[in-house]
Structure 1
Amino acid sequence: MMIGALYVSQGAPFGLAMDFLPTILRSEGASLSSLAWLPLIGLPWVLKFLWAPFLDNLWSPRLGKRRSWILPMQAMIFVALSAIAVIGVSERTSSLVVILFVVTSFAAATQDTATDGMVAEYFSSKMLPLANAVQVAGTLVGFFLGGPAALIVAGYFSASTAVSVMTAIVLFGFLFALFWRERQAAHSVARAETKASLAGFVRRPGALNVAAIAFLTAVTAVGGFTLGKVFLVDQDWAVEQIGKIGLAGGGVTVVLGCGGAALMIRLTGVRTALTISVLCSLIGSLLWLSMTLGVSSSTVWLAGLAVMLGSVGTGGMSVAAMTIASCFAGTANQAGTDMTIVQSSRDFGEMLTSSLALTIAASAGFSSAFALLGVSAVITLFVVRMERTCSDNAAPLCLDLHAFQQTTVPDRTSGTPR
């Protein structure tokens, strides 16, 4: 429960910045070209690998290896969101709001390194699909609370009220971390291990393959979320209506996307889960494309179907990619750093695609942007199907069921496989 609460609390500000903010500003008349710069708020998520080794190497024995960083980052998020709630979200205050969201992005990204490392260290390989489902679902629940749910609250009340509600969610996660106590045995072992480093990740066999899979799945998954909502704004949809359809998509992401992927990984392996998830995203992009080309109208049912398919694909790809990453990171002594580098690859893909899609939509139209997302899905599908399994020493990605089940993760408290 605590892991889920932490991921929700770090996902909420990300949803506010990447989904809520551009939709609110667009509804107030902001241009698409100006909105194209907003994904840069997520830059700390891309660059966090630069300071990730410090989180693995520097911490207080009194607070614990992961708690030493989680608590101050949660406090920073709370203060920044409280300030945004006070000044309000509007085109007039947008410059200061963006700065404050950069602060929350830095804090949430840093906290993510600590929480990802904790998941990789504390769970065995057989439990990783479930743990990663909670991990991804928690982040997505936070994202959809900060995005669609906040839009609904803003539509009925105000943007400041919506941000205030998200601030309370962050406080809830902080209280969980405040009363949690880490296993002391893990700390003594960690102190004696080799220092974490970026080079330590690059030197490991299969590391770049893991990062590439993470990047491609993020590129395929993310574009439709923000782009679809901005398109619906231009189709004169009300903000609260967009929020409702997005919130429904969030539920599908968590239940069918994350839950379904966790089950498929246990039954059939990561490759099958990835393939099905990418196909769902591809079909969703094609539906959006048909609406932008005028082949079909942007009805509630068709837009809802596009959102649902994209949601299933996003949840499934995220769980599969993070399961591969956790399996990989858990076998070394720098889980936080390894997970952060892989997550940074995903975040770079998300930020690049969000910004590029909005830029293309502004210059060449929404149809060109959605066509690009469809092409990225086809490329991802090809790479997933062609990637060798972890039984091949050249690419140990655990993409087949047998190899995944045979993978062991060192127990951080005793040095034996779990």
Structure 2
Amino acid sequence: MKASSSFPRMPFRLWPLIACLYVSQGIPFGLAMEALPASLRHAGTDLQALAWLPLVGLPWVLKWLWAPWVDNHWSPRTGRRRSWILPMQCLVLAALLAVALLGLSVQTMPWILGLAVTASLASATQDVATDALVAEQFATESLPMANAIQVASTMVGFFYGGPVFLMLYGTLGLSWAIVGLVLPIAASLVLTLSWREPQALRVAASTGKASQWHFLRSGRNAWALVVAACLSAITVVACHGLGKLLLVDAQWPLARVGQVGMLGGAFTILVGCGGGAWLVRRFGAWPAFQLGIASAGLSAVTWAWLATQTPAMPMTAVVMATVLASIGSGCASVAIMTAAMNFCRRRTQAGTDMTMVQSARDLGETMASSFLIALAARVGYKEGFLLGLGLAVLTMLATAWMMRSSRAKQPHAPGS
């Protein structure tokens, strides 16, 4: 399913548009995964009831099931991507306003869970259309920076919907906290309403029907993207997830663990994403991806050493391990998403193609979170981190083979 039409040069307004779209998509996820558990527990909700909240993230793992529907069904008058982005944003806004009306309490817990699932489903569906919009509208040389904005903005949205919401809720109350969440989503809605999709995009969309099968039968490049996305996610989780648990078991105060987490988030956004975009433009997506995974591997080595020093873990080494993992995470994410967009921009089912890669990454994160914790409980933290190192080496070897295969088939292009 090759795209035959060439699209006009993108307008500058697309930069703030995609930044706001990705921020708005991260807000419901941060709200469900970080803010709601703390808020509902504070209101007296039983822990067994809160155990259902992680299921809110399932739409992000399963969105590949309906991604072809997003590619294939749309209104010519509204536009192929705006037809999905606009109603999904309205659905998220409606869900948040309903939370403000219901309040957070033990009695409203079932309704809150339903609204959280609705907002997550809408955000995951919007993500399919947003990723496709970026792949179709941005020039090849702009994709590294666009994907840096994607990863950074989604993280900003997650923090905004999580810790920032909790601060607003604790100081101003639920209604004003919800207002704070609604503002960036409303801003992205206004920007989307003011933008019109090029006619060339609508013409190209009519050349074929999207499906998961079309992606899977695209050959080695498609499978390479899926494998790299999944393995890189597992490698990063081995550092980030287990690292925090190790600090808690070493009797670090929760506030200090939170500070380490915020430091990691800042380095992911500022250095990992920004540096990743520069590396992709300078060396290409796959070499930049390998550098990111190498950084995560060094983090795993540092964490493995720290696991032998507990409880007297030096702060300098903890910071080093956190920074290496954060830079590796941001760089690898920008690189793999750029490689995926370079792959799917030449085709007519960008939403489905990007979602297959994204879902592979989300699946890797989900599986790794449970498996690595169980492994650490059985054999120890050091062995869990060493597994992360082994996965980093495996990922680098696999991507080296992918790079050689890709070079043998086509000439090098910037960011490819």
TM range, smaller chain? 0.7 to 0.9
Question: By how many angstroms is 1:217 displaced?
Answer: 1.5
Q: 1:347 aligns to what SS in structure 2?
A: helix
Q: Give deviations 1:232-277, integer Å, cap 9, x for gaps.
A: 55635345x5544433322211221111111111212223312221
Partner of 1:72: 87
TM-score by length of 1: 0.81
In structure 2, relative to structure 1, the CA distance for the partners of 1:379 and 1:276 (3 Å cut) is same
Q: Which amino acid aligns with 1:130?
A: M
2:24 is aligned with 1:9: yes
* Change over 3 Å in CA distance of 1:218–1:356 after alignment to 2: same
The corresponding residue for 2:132 is 117
Q: What is aligned with 1:208?
A: 223
Partner of 2:211: 197
- 1:77 and 1:353, CA in 2 relative to 1: closer, same or farther beyond 3 A? farther
State whether structure 2 residue 408 is matched by structure 1 residue 405.
no
Q: Is the 8 A contact 2:277 2:334 kept in 1?
A: yes
Query: Where does residue 59 of structure 1 map in the other structure?
Result: 74
Query: How far apart, CA to CA, are the structure 1 residues paired with 2:145 and 2:364?
Result: 24
| Structure 1 unmatched runs, 5+ | 397-401, 408-418
State the 1:283 CA deviation: 2.8
| Equivalent residues in 2 for 1:158-173, closer than 5 Å | 165-173=180-188
Corresponding residue of 2:297: 282
Partner residue, 2:369: 354
- CA 71–64 in structure 1, closer or farther in 2 if over 3 Å, else same: same
- Does 1:263 pair with 2:269? no
**Which residue of 1 is the match for residue 407 of structure 2?**
391
TM-score (norm: length of structure 2): 0.82
Distance 2:176 2:313 in 1: 30
User: Displacement of 1:377 after TM fit?
Assistant: 2.6
Residue 288 of structure 2 contacts residue 335 of structure 2 at CA under 8 Å; is this kept in 1?
Answer: yes
Kindly report which structure 2 residues correspond to 1:96-245, keeping only aligned pairs within 5 A, or say none: 96-150=111-165, 165-191=180-206, 193-205=207-219, 206-229=221-244, 232=247, 235=251, 237-239=253-255, 241-245=256-260
Question: Which of the numbers 246, 261, 280 marks the counterpart of 2:261?
Answer: 246
The structural deviation recorded for 1:117 is 0.6
Aligned-pair distance for 1:370? Answer: 4.1
Amino acid at match of 1:338: D
SS at match of 1:387: helix
Moved more, 130-139 or 302-311: 302-311
In 1, are the aligned partners of 2:376 and 2:383 still within 8 Å (CA)? yes
Verify the 8 A CA contact 1:149 1:243 in the aligned structure 2: no
User: 1:316 offset after TM fit, Å?
Assistant: 0.4
Measured at CA, do residues 229 and 147 of structure 1 come closer, stay the same or move farther in structure 2, by a change above 3 Å?
Answer: farther
Question: Would you say the 8 A contact 2:280–2:415 is kept in 1?
Answer: no
Residues 360 and 16 of structure 1, relative CA distance in 2, 3 Å threshold = farther
**Contact in 1 for aligned 2:81/2:129 (Cα 8 Å):** yes
What SS does the corresponding residue of 1:392 show, helix, strand or coil?
helix
CA separation of 1:85 and 1:322: change in aligned 2, threshold 3 A: same
**How far 1:145 moved relative to its partner?**
2.7
Distance of 1:237 and 1:334 partners within structure 2: 48
How many Å separate the matches in 2 of 1:26 and 1:232? Answer: 23
Following superposition, the deviation at residue 178 of structure 1 comes to: 2.5
Which amino acid is the alignment partner of residue 337 of structure 2?
A: M
Displacement of 1:214: 1.3
1:50, 1:160 → 2: CA distance?
35
Deviation at 1:64, TM superposition (A): 1.0
Equivalent in 321, 328, 349 of residue 334 of structure 1: 349
Deviation at 1:303, TM superposition (A): 3.9
Q: Distance in 2 between matches of 1:359 and 1:28?
A: 30
- Structure 1 vs Structure 2 CA RMSD: 3.5
Structure 1: how far apart are the matches of 2:166 and 2:262? 9
Instruction: Give 1:332's aligned amino acid.
Output: R
Moved more, 180-189 or 110-119: 180-189
CA 1:385–1:128 in 2, change beyond 3 Å: closer, same or farther? same
Identity in percent: 42
SS at match of 1:355: helix
**Aligned letter for 1:137?**
A
Corresponding residue for 1:325?
340
**What is the count of residue pairs matched by the alignment?**
398
Please report how far the alpha carbon of residue 62 of structure 1 lies from its aligned counterpart in structure 2 after TM superposition. 2.0
Which amino acid is 1:279 matched to?
Answer: A
Structure 2 portions without partners, runs of 5+: 1-15
